[in-house]
Amino acid sequence: MATSEVLIERLNRGVRKRNARLTFVRDVAFGDALRLRRFRLGNGLTVLTLIDRSAPTVSYHSWFRVGSRHERPGKTGLAHLFEHLMFNATRNRAPGDFDRLMEGAGAEANAATWTDWTYYYENAPRDALALLIELEADRMANLVLRAPQVSSEKEVVANERKLRVDDDVEGKALELLYEKAFVRHPYRWPTIGSMDDIRGFTVKDCREFYRTHYAPSNATIVIAGDFNESRALSQIQKHYGGLSAARRVERRRLSKEPPQRAERVFQLPAPTPTEKLLLGYRAPSFLDPDTPALVVANEVLFGGQSSRLHRLFCLDEELALSVRGSISPFVDTGLYEMWILLREGKKKADALALLDREIRRIGSEGPTPLELEKAICQLELSFLHSMETAGGKAEQIGFYETVANDGAAVFERLDAYGRVSVRDVKQAVAKYLRPSRRTRVEIRQRAS
Amino acid sequence: MSILVESSDVLPLVDVEIAFAAGSLQDPAGREGLALLTGHLVRRGPRGLSQQRFEDRLASLGARVSVQVSMRSTRIRATVLRRNLEPLLGLLADLVWRPAFRASDFAKLKRQARAALLARLDDDQSLAARCFREALFGEHPYARAQSGTAESLARIGLQQVEGFYGRNIAKGAFLVGVAGDVTDTEARALVSSYFPSSTRHKQKDSIVPTTKTRPGRHVIIVDKPERAQTQLLIGTLGSRTRDRNLFPLLVSNTAFGGTFSGPLMQEIRAVRGWSYSAYSRLLHAKQREAWYMTTAPASEYSADCAALQLDLLERWVDRGIKKAQLSFAQRYLINSHCFDRDTPSKRLESRLDVELLGIPRGYVEKYDELVARVSLQDANEATRTRISTRNLSIVVVATANEVAGAFESLPGVKSLEVVPFDRG
């Protein structure tokens, strides 16, 4: 790897367009053995590179700071629909070319959309990198948005919604939970959108969305794996350097979510063989200093077969088939979701009483030292697993860059887990897991 | 006992796998679910440690252990922080050689297994998959539900579990695989010290009867209320692992429905938007396994989607694929093959498959060559020989009264049966 000054000097030699000129920003350690290097193109595009020659593969991620929070009521699901549309024709490529070229090269291409971001990725053999750069740059600026493509993708998304929400009891319950837990914040509507909104999108909506959010200055490119950095950056200059920096991404001020002062309870009848409880406690944002302690608390409560609630609910009392919990990794205040899948004939009230008792106990006594040790070891294990492939590393970097403005912050988060004390867990549980902060969805059986 | 090692110092992680060549095919008729129950009961811990203490020990090592049972193998899979490999091996050795088999754990496990069967009724994809295998394989052991049924689980006692363990595990007829941050020498020394094997007992390969197709096209509707969308599986028998035409069929199937760019996905999703996904899959085993197409269209056009799939299937089998499709599928399979071996655990998995499932070593070592060697004639002949357009099982999870009439009218349908989704 060339020194940054030499590399930049060489890459910018003869480059006249300001947008195509590269700047080296910084180089930071990424774990013990790797370096994460940050570059910026003249048009505002951030490029992060991580060379890792452990496998002959490369992962190319394009993260955009746009998600369902940037939508408006009546237009929910547009960010997600757009993710689908991005696989269609461009001014330079016919319909189907993108997938055909990617698959022919052995690349797996896909994308994901959530509340705060959308990302597109390819995991490919290392020799395919030039193709990935060319095709991704092309669709960032040259997407063709016409009625036939929009109409067909609307139908696909409507089907996806039926799959993930309408016919899925857990999907339906989650949608209800977020709708009721938030009264103002856009987190209240589903990322996939309402069926009416999906059906109602126009080509004009899509074009406007594209112009507003798909710009180099709103994107981060992450390249991880076995590749030649100099060649990759040169390709980036060539294909992204012509894109204009002129488009400004508008940022709306979001309404602040008022504090929740009392529990909200909702019933969801469904054709399901067993009853379920879904709870959502108002949780801190991903970057809040309390979040690591709450993540450790979640591991103590729900992490695997030795966890406190698994043992109580599934083994000792046999109230539930499974229990699980997770904290939404959102930019703003999200939810700490807890699921209890009851066994046949067991009562929701008993499950809730047991849950409340244990939460109170951990809030007053904290976890035992053994529980804390287990939780931190398990979080370390999960972290290492997430880093096994080039794609896993790129995803972590892209997420932390987009949400925390620092692609290497994933290691800081792991260190933060290691510093969490019994007292921190106790305080976080006592502060956040109060019944008055939660919304509860009770899924009950509806006779067929 | 054999030891397989895949070293890599990229991350301070090690995977350990203890694999037995015995799975649900060894379940006696009427006691389906025995192999899975045995695996899960072993997983509850060794003698001398309560389940809770065993779980605590694992978790504080930064380890996780799971058990996977397939038709032909049972695999205890563990993953651990590198610094704790040795204590984990000690725990695993105890688990394998001295499982506790406590009656109280067994009773709880059976109740849990029955609860899991009930909970699975929520999952339409799994309902469709299970019903499809029953429809395709009938009375053949390939139709058996690995998790068993409420009735078969009730017939299994602790004695049967101990018997299964004694016949298939206790004799030491297993493989130990280690992948990750450990050298070959170190791994072998550690495994040998915790798993000393006095005899090299080889598990007898089970006899599996030939699979047969049921003549005609048969529709089974798994009736579930309030379905906005359907889960649709259409298929027939596919290939044996050792079939001469396995690779030609693999390439041909990839061209037809193995990628996003294939005609199946293009016609159903890209052109019509009828289903979020549309793929075809080719499985292989000792006897002919399944080949099937899977889609998830809305109820209102589910039968239209099925009709289109049948038409695409006939075109594929009768006319074959084109030269350009063949080379595209070959490029895709060869170029993407690096993702079957980009981590030490994946490399270990494929070596274990060779040892346990009777997959010829050449399939792994010469994969690219075997794919590249397939000619257009081979691919199309394999498709015509192996994929029947006449004998098909068509399974759809749907609200029956919304789709039954339309499915009955599909071309060539010989029978239509409606079964309740919660029939047990």
Contacts of B297 in chain A (CB under 8 A): 159
Fold of A4-240: Cytochrome Bc1 Complex; Chain A, domain 1 (3.30.830)
pLDDT of residue A248: 61
Cα gap B80→B12, rounded to integer Å: 9
Pick the residue from chain A with its C-alpha nearest to B106. A315
Distances, alpha carbon A402 to alpha carbons A67, A79, A180, A395, A398, in Å: 11, 16, 27, 11, 6
Q: Based on the fold, state whether residues B255 and B176 are members of the same structural domain.
A: no
Tally A–B CB contacts below 8 A.
172
pLDDT of residue B171: 73
The answer to whether B287 contacts chain A (CB < 8 Å) is no
Per-domain residue ranges of chain A: 4-240, 264-445
Contacts of B343 in chain A (CB under 8 A): 55, 388-389
- Tell me whether residues B298 and A390 touch, CB distance under 8 A: no
The answer to whether A9 contacts chain B (CB < 8 Å) is no
Residue B403: inside a domain, yes or no?
yes
Residue A247 has pLDDT above 80, yes or no: no
* Bridge partner list, B279: B294
pLDDT of residue B68: 95
Contacts of B55 in chain A (CB under 8 A): 304-306, 311
Cα gap A6→A9, rounded to integer Å: 5
The answer to whether A425 contacts chain B (CB < 8 Å) is no
Cβ(A119)–Cβ(A64) below 8 Å:
yes
Residue A142 has pLDDT above 70, yes or no: yes
Residue A249 has pLDDT above 70, yes or no: no
The answer to whether B124 contacts chain A (CB < 8 Å) is yes
Taking the model in full, what pTM does it have? 0.95
pLDDT of residue B176: 95
Reported as a single tens digit per residue, the pLDDT across A84-98 is 999 999 999 999 999
Contacts of A268 in chain B (CB under 8 A): none
Number of domains in chain B: 2
Reported as a single tens digit per residue, the pLDDT across A385-443 is 999 999 999 999 999 999 999 999 999 999 999 999 999 999 999 999 999 999 999 99
Residue B200: inside a domain, yes or no?
no
Q: Based on the fold, state whether residues B149 and B10 are members of the same structural domain.
A: yes
pLDDT of residue B41: 97
Q: Which of A159, A198, A321 to mutate to test the interface with B (most CBs of B within 10 A)?
A: A159
CA-based nearest distance A426→chain B, Å = 20
Average pLDDT over residues A152-169: 94
The answer to whether B150 contacts chain A (CB < 8 Å) is no
CA-based nearest distance A170→chain B, Å = 9
Q: Based on the fold, state whether residues B317 and B382 are members of the same structural domain.
A: yes
The answer to whether A341 contacts chain B (CB < 8 Å) is yes
pLDDT of residue B196: 84
Nearest to B59 among A151, A167, A306 (CB): A306
ipTM: 0.93
CA-based nearest distance B109→chain A, Å = 9
Contacts of A125 in chain B (CB under 8 A): 335-336, 338
Pick the residue from chain A with its C-alpha nearest to B330. A104
- Put simply, the chain B residues between 209 and 248 with a CB less than 8 A from any chain A CB are 224-229
Reported as a single tens digit per residue, the pLDDT across A50-91 is 999 999 999 999 999 999 999 999 999 999 999 999 999 999
The answer to whether B13 contacts chain A (CB < 8 Å) is yes
Tens of each residue's pLDDT in chain B, 424 residues: 689 999 999 899 999 999 998 999 999 999 999 999 999 999 999 999 999 999 999 999 999 999 999 999 999 999 999 999 999 999 999 999 999 999 999 999 999 999 999 999 999 999 999 999 999 999 999 999 899 999 999 999 999 999 999 988 777 778 999 999 999 999 999 999 998 864 555 666 678 999 999 999 999 999 999 999 999 999 999 999 999 999 999 999 999 999 999 999 999 999 999 999 999 999 999 999 999 999 999 999 999 999 999 999 999 999 999 999 999 999 999 999 999 999 999 999 999 999 988 899 999 999 999 999 999 999 999 999 999 999 999 999 999 999 999 999 999 999 999 999 988 6
The domains spanning A4-240 and A264-445 adopt the same CATH topology: yes
Reported as a single tens digit per residue, the pLDDT across A365-375 is 999 999 999 99
The answer to whether B418 contacts chain A (CB < 8 Å) is no
Nearest to A138 by CA among A197, A212, A62: A62
Q: Which of B117, B251, B272, B276 to mutate to test the interface with A (most CBs of A within 10 A)?
A: B276
The answer to whether A436 contacts chain B (CB < 8 Å) is no
Residue B208: inside a domain, yes or no?
no
Q: Quick one: tokens of B204?
A: 């007898």
Contacts of B87 in chain A (CB under 8 A): none
The answer to whether A107 contacts chain B (CB < 8 Å) is yes
pLDDT of residue B408: 97
Q: Based on the fold, state whether residues B143 and B15 are members of the same structural domain.
A: yes
The answer to whether A106 contacts chain B (CB < 8 Å) is yes
Q: Which of A98, A121, A296, A388 to mutate to test the interface with B (most CBs of B within 10 A)?
A: A388
The answer to whether B342 contacts chain A (CB < 8 Å) is yes
Residue B201: inside a domain, yes or no?
no
Pick the residue from chain A with its C-alpha nearest to B50. A306
pLDDT of residue B329: 98
Residue B108: inside a domain, yes or no?
yes
* Per-residue confidence band for A281, with pLDDT thresholds at 50, 70 and 90: very high
Q: Based on the fold, state whether residues B228 and B186 are members of the same structural domain.
A: no
List the CATH number of the domain containing B67.
3.30.830.10
Pick the residue from chain B with its C-alpha nearest to A373. B60
- Put simply, the chain A residues between 387 and 406 with a CB less than 8 A from any chain B CB are 387-390
Q: Which of A165, A381, A383 to mutate to test the interface with B (most CBs of B within 10 A)?
A: A381
Distances, alpha carbon B256 to alpha carbons A102, B252, B267, B293, B328, in Å: 17, 6, 11, 10, 11
CA–centroid distance for B203 within its chain: 21
Residue A346 has pLDDT above 90, yes or no: yes
pLDDT of residue A244: 86
- Tell me whether residues B56 and A303 touch, CB distance under 8 A: no
- Put simply, the chain A residues between 299 and 328 with a CB less than 8 A from any chain B CB are 303-306, 311, 314-315, 318, 321
Domain extent for B262: 217-420
Q: Based on the fold, state whether residues B170 and B275 are members of the same structural domain.
A: no
pLDDT of residue B243: 95
The answer to whether B273 contacts chain A (CB < 8 Å) is yes
pLDDT of residue B206: 74
Q: What is the 3 state secondary structure string of chain A? A: CCCHHHHHHHHHCCCCCHHHCEEEEEEEEECCCEEEEEEEECCCCEEEEEECCCCCEEEEEEEECCCHHHCCCCCCCHHHHHHHHCCCCECCCCCCHHHHHHHHCCCEEEEEECCCCEEEEEEEEHHHHHHHHHHHHHHHHCECCCHHHHHHHHHHHHHHHHHHHHCCHHHHHHHHHHHHHCCCCHHHCCCCCCHHHHHHCCHHHHHHHHHHHCCHHHEEEEEEECCCHHHHHHHHHHHHCCCCCCCCCCCCCCCCCCCCCCCEEEEEEECCCCCEEEEEEEECCCCCCCHHHHHHHHHHHHCCCCCHHHHHHHHHCCCEEEEEEEECCCCCCEEEEEEEEECCCCCHHHHHHHHHHHHHHHHHHCCCHHHHHHHHHHHHHHHHHHCCCHHHHHHHHHHHHHHHCCCCHHHHHHHHHHHCCHHHHHHHHHHHCCHHHEEEEEEEECCC
For the segment(s) A264-445, the CATH number from 3.30.70.270, 3.40.50.150, 3.30.830.10, 3.40.50.1370 is 3.30.830.10
pLDDT of residue B81: 98
Q: Which residue has the tokens 């600026």?
A: A141
Residue B313: inside a domain, yes or no?
yes
CA-based nearest distance B214→chain A, Å = 31
Reported as a single tens digit per residue, the pLDDT across B134-166 is 999 999 999 998 999 999 999 999 999 999 999
Q: Based on the fold, state whether residues B157 and B224 are members of the same structural domain.
A: no
Reported as a single tens digit per residue, the pLDDT across A15-43 is 989 999 999 999 999 988 899 999 999 99
- Tell me whether residues B80 and A381 touch, CB distance under 8 A: yes
